[in-house]
Amino acid sequence: MRGKLNQEMSRFARKTVTAGLVAVFLAAAGMLWIGNAEAQQQKLEPKPGKYTPSKPTAEDVEAGKAVYFRKCVWCHGPDGAGDGPSAIRLATKPRNFNQGTFKIRHSASGELPTDEDLFLSVTHGLSGSAMPPWGEILSEKERKQVISFVKTELVKDRKFDDPDDEITVIDYGKQIPSSEESIKLGQEIYMTKAKCVECHGVEGRGNGNLTQRDDWGFPIFPADLTKPWNLRGNRRDPYNPRNIFREISTGLNGTPMPSFRDELTEEERWHVANFVMSLSEKYPIDPQTAKPAIQFVLKSRFVAEGELPTDPNDPKWLELPAQYIGLASQIIQPPRHFLRTVDDIRFRSLFNDKEVVFLLEWNDRTESHFDENKEAVYDAKRISSDAFPAINTTNLTHENDGAAGPLKDVNPEPKGVFNDAIAIQFAEKWQELPPPEKPYFIHGDAKRGTDIWKWESDGSTKELTGHGLEQISVKEANKNLKVENAKWSNGRWQLVMKRALKTEDPEHDAQLEMGKNIPVVFFAWDGDAGEFGGKMALSTYYYLMMEPPVPGKVYVIPPIVAGVVVLLEGLVLYAARKKKIENA
């Protein structure tokens, strides 16, 4: 019996070892596969050196034309001049193909792009613009056909098959892995030798030179390097320094961004790429949107000891990572606004038994204060130029009448500069609303009111009651809201806002409770983009969760459970032993 058992057990041991080996093999295969995905991506890139573009066949061009007039013409226009119907709405205009000027390439500055570059742009889209990833809609064949059509028919001023118009593909060389030292070297080059700082700003938020124009005469603003998911050439792989290395090396044709291939050595460019990558928060990316994945529950942490912080740099904030809140333009109700400049807020919050405090941080290239005589940095000129003389407004609409006829300009360009501002909106008496009911997210509705906490850059804090965009009134009676700290520096606002959990007017002020999902909405205004009132950036609903402190019993009960189990085990063992002795 015993020998058999031993045999049994050793067989079992062998099996376990085999299973372990299989598991290890599978894990290794998985790692290889992930590594392979990166390799696949790099396989799609053109090889360094001299490059000859492919010659499209007449059939491909014809088939590509059909694809173009179904899917692409709406932005890029019937003649490829970047003047389709959407062009009047967009800042980052659709590409005008006629000149053969393309931003995202592997070729040297000023040269035409390679076939692979165009294929990658069509496949992955261009983040931060309206160009979507067509790889999910068009087959590989269709994508190649449409590129054939664009190359031969729509690029008019240059010829891809012109032997004098040569293409040299850049070399990535030997990638230098990121390290503290490399980042420091990169920062040094960024600040001095390469002068990146002059446009992109000290902390990389694109708040340097804001008066430049692109080749077509449209205003263009330096990229905010702290949001790599918005960079055109990120290929939906936003944290990969290769993308930055490539763009530093090739420059972005048609824009003020030059190539640094001759100014900086290969090593120096890798250091700069590593520094640029160090500027951003590495949020997990949602593959569906290619933006940071959004958690719709915003956490506020309990502070048991000491005061709530009032300084944005207080280490107490580091209790929790900053949460990402995405913002869109208010294009829903009049006055519609299409080109918001604030596209996210970083949120932190703490509370104690009396008060709650929020730290809100958002990027804004300009510090704006109301001045009707000052010229705004972003204005309607953003979407017009000498090349687009006919289009001079974002607000063409049949607004509010639904009648046919010519489009009306309901919002003539606002004059001057407004205040930067931010607001958090709660629901009045949210505890009494039957879940999941809430007031309409844009400032409420006739039936359900909202409690809006708004700060403006003139230093004013207002508590407002909202029953919709048209029905907003200032609550004069109570001053519960305190803004402890608001400062703009290097293209970013930081604001600390505090309020008591309970107030004297529970009818109109949201009363905050811990352990409940409290519905909240966020709004932001950039005064230099003509934003005020209903012209703003906004979110939809989030939930604020003020986390109750962990009760003590959580640390007491599990050990008790373990103790009881140990006792039971002892009983089982005793019984088994007894039985063995009896059997013997």
Partner 1 sequence: MAWIIKDKMGIPIPKIIQAPIIWIAAYIVFRFILQPPIPFSLLAIYMAVVTIACFLYVSLSQPSWEEFTSPIKFMLQEDTGKAKMSRYFTFAAIPLLLAYGTYNKMLPKFDEPIELRTVHPAPPASINVHDKVLNLQTAENPFRVDDSGGYLKVGLESVHHGKNPFAENAPKFLQNVRDGGTVFFGTAGCFFCHGDNLDGRGPFAFAFNPIPANFADPGTIAQLQESFVFWRVAKGGPGLSREAFPWASAMPPWEKHLTTNEMWQVILFEYWHTGFFPRTWD
**Tokens 């003139």 sit on residue:** 458
Q: Token pair of 132, please?
A: 């979507």
Determine which residue in the list 58, 404, 432, 507 makes contact with partner 1, applying CB under 8 A.
404
Residues 337-376 that bind partner 1 (CB under 8 A): 338, 343
> Among all chains, which residue has been given the structure tokens 């059909």?
66
Closer by beta carbon to partner 1, 389 or else 515: 515
Cα–Cα distance measured from residue 572 to residue 328, given in angstroms and rounded to the nearest whole number: 63
Does 26 bind partner 1 (CB under 8 A)? Our answer is no
Q: Rounded to the nearest whole angstrom, what is the least distance from the CB of residue 572 to partner 1 in the complex?
A: 7
Give the type of residue at 328. A
Helices (H) and strands (E) in the chain, counts: 10, 20
List the interface residues with partner 1, window 276-295 (CB under 8 A).
286, 288-289, 291, 294-295
Q: Which of 75, 170, 231, 422 touches partner 1 (CB under 8 A)? A: 75
From 353, 561, 571, 582, residue interacting with partner 1 (rule: CB under 8 A):
561
304 binds partner 1 (CB under 8 A): no
Q: Say which residues have a Cβ less than 8 Å from residue 351's Cβ, sequence separation at least 6.
A: 300, 301, 302, 303, 308, 357, 501, 512, 514, 546
User: For residue 105, with 0-12 CB atoms within 10 Å meaning exposed, 13-18 middle and 19 or more buried, which class applies?
Assistant: buried
Distance CA 158, CA 346 (A): 45
Decide the pairing of beta strands 517-525 and 421-427. Answer: antiparallel
Residue (259 or 450) nearer to partner 1, CB: 450
Contact 329, 282 (CB under 8 A): no
Indicate the residue among 177 and 551 with the shorter CB distance to partner 1: 551
The correct pick among 476, 507, 553, 571 for binding partner 1 (CB under 8 A) is 553
SS3 state of residue 486: strand
H or E stretch at 358: strand 355-363
- Pick one of 27, 29, 66, 474: the residue that binds partner 1 (CB under 8 A): 66
Sort strands 297-302 and 542-546 into parallel, antiparallel or unpaired: parallel
The token pair that represents 482 in the structure block: 């305190």
**Parallel, antiparallel, or unpaired for β 285-286 and 167-169?**
unpaired
Please, what is the minimum distance in Å from the beta carbon of residue 179 to partner 1?
32
In the complex, least distance from residue 331 CB atom to partner 1, rounded to whole angstroms: 6
Identify which of residues 27 and 562 has a Cβ nearer to partner 1 in the complex: 562
What is residue 580's three-state secondary structure?
helix
CB-nearer residue toward partner 1: 183 or 472 = 472
Q: Which is nearer to partner 1, 188 or 409 (CB)?
A: 409
How many of the chain's residues bind partner 1 (CB under 8 A)? 96
Contact status: 403 vs partner 1 (CB under 8 A): yes
Quick one: 201 or 439, whose CB is closer to partner 1? 439
**Which residue bears the tokens 């991506």?**
41
Options 361, 440, 475, 485; binder of partner 1; rule CB under 8 A: 440
Give the shortest CB-231-to-partner 1 separation in angstroms: 14
Residue 115 interacts with partner 1 (CB under 8 A)? no
The letter for the amino acid at 388 is: F
Q: Which is nearer to partner 1, 89 or 462 (CB)?
A: 89
* Cα separation values, 198 from 223, 243, 427, 570, Å: 12, 21, 44, 73
25 counts as binding partner 1 under rule CB under 8 A: no
Q: From start to end of 92-251, where are the E strands? A: 167-169
Nearest to 352 by CA among 311, 314, 300, 424: 300
Which two structure tokens, joined as six digits, stand for 407?
A: 């489009």
- Applying the rule CB under 8 A, the residues between 474 and 533 that interact with partner 1 are 515, 517
Note whether 3 binds partner 1 by CB under 8 A: no
Of positions 326, 335, 416, 533, contacts partner 1 by CB under 8 A: 326
| Count of all residues that appear for the chain in the document | 584
* Shortest distance, position 380 Cβ to partner 1, whole Å: 15
Near partner 1 by CB under 8 A: residue from 134, 221, 523, 532: 134
Residue 32: phi and psi, rounded to 5, are: -60, -40
Cβ–Cβ < 8 Å for 488, 364: yes
Asked if residues 252 and 103 have their Cβ atoms less than 8 Å apart, the reply is: yes
Q: Which of 439, 456, 472 is nearest to 464 (CA)?
A: 472
**Applying CB under 8 A, which of residues 8, 59, 166, 262 lies at the interface with partner 1?**
8
Question: Interface with partner 1 includes 239 (CB under 8 A)?
Answer: no
Q: Among residues 27 and 446, whose Cβ is nearest to partner 1?
A: 446
Check: CB of residue 523 under 8 Å from CB of residue 537. yes
Q: Site for partner 1 (CB under 8 A): which residue of 27, 69, 181, 198?
A: 69
Contacting partner 1 (CB under 8 A), which of 177, 402, 406, 412? 402
Considering only 381, 429, 438, 475, the residue that binds partner 1 (CB under 8 A) is 438
CB of 407 to partner 1, least distance (A): 7
Stretch that binds partner 1, among 30-38, 157-165, 179-187, 574-582 (CB under 8 A): 574-582
CB of 549 to partner 1, least distance (A): 9
- Stretches 174-182, 402-410, 414-422, 473-481: which one binds partner 1 (CB under 8 A)? 402-410
Q: How far is the CB of 485 from partner 1 (least distance, A)?
A: 26
The one-character DSSP state at 193 is I
Does the protein bind partner 1 through residue 86 (CB under 8 A)?
yes
Structure tokens at 558: 């599990």
Binds partner 1 (CB under 8 A): choice among 30, 85, 110, 506: 85
User: In the complex with partner 1, which residue's Cβ is closer, 205 or 337?
Assistant: 337
What are 474's strand-pairing partners?
464
Choice between 286 and 307, CB closer to partner 1: 286
Question: What SS3 string covers 391-437?
Answer: CCCCCEECCCCCCCCCCEECCCCCCCECCCEEEEEEECCHHHCCCCC
Which of 359, 423, 410, 378 is closest to 527 using CA atoms?
A: 378
409 touches partner 1 by CB under 8 A: no
Question: Taking CB under 8 A as the rule, does residue 142 contact partner 1?
Answer: no
Q: Return the residue of 266, 311, 409, 547 that touches partner 1, per CB under 8 A.
A: 547
Select the span of 152-160, 320-328, 412-420, 483-491 touching partner 1 (CB under 8 A).
320-328
* Binding flag, residue 140, partner 1 (CB under 8 A): no
